[in-house]
Amino acid sequence: MKKLALATLVLALVSVSALAEDHGPRTCSNETLRGSYGFTITGERPVPMSTTIEQIVGTAITTFDGWGNFTQTDNIHGFTGDYVPNRPGTGKYTLNSDCTGTMTLHNNGAPFDLVLSIVVVDDGREVRTAVVDVSPAQMAIPPIMVTSNGRKIQ
């Protein structure tokens, strides 16, 4: 009987311990993104000064300030050979409580800003993005189909 009571007590303690570790749904705010993230970038974009679409790959380091602002340095290489190394950019972001949000990125020298849909995962250690628009929206350009995945730099 003592063994059964002891086993029941151990099982109850393990269950309570597991429940204590479950913090429930994660809530996010702009403060969730603070620090530097390394991104890989892939997709398609219009070739500058043309109507041709090209495939691109690249990397970026983006630093979020926790208040809704960020800086970025990217290195994007296009299929046509277009490459601007260490291109600086700045922007703003808004993160909703469900860890979705938006970013607006202005790359130096670009005639428009990129509007990205974002989702933050893994308790703020990872950010996934997709370009969804350009600003100003009246810019008549072919669609930019670019996604990126960023991981917090430790």
Residue 74 confidence (pLDDT): 96
* Residue 30, SS3 per DSSP: helix
pLDDT at residue number 139 = 62
> Residue 48 belongs to what domain range?
30-152
In total, how many domains does the chain have? 1
Query: Using one digit for the tens of pLDDT, what is the confidence trace for 8-18?
Result: 433 443 444 44
CA distances from 36 to 26, 33, 71, 98 (A): 21, 9, 9, 21
Q: 79 lies in a domain?
A: yes
**CA 15, CA 9: separation in Å to the nearest integer?**
10
Q: Any idea what the Cα angle at residue 28 is, between residues 131 and 151, rounded to 5°?
A: 55
**Domain presence at residue 99:** yes
pLDDT in tens, 15-43: 444 444 445 557 999 999 999 999 999 99
Report yes or no on 136 lying in a domain. Answer: yes
pTM value?
Answer: 0.80
Q: What is the CATH number of the domain that holds 107?
A: 2.40.128.120
Q: What is the pLDDT of residues 47-95, one digit of tens each?
A: 777 778 889 999 999 999 999 999 999 999 988 777 878 999 999 999 9
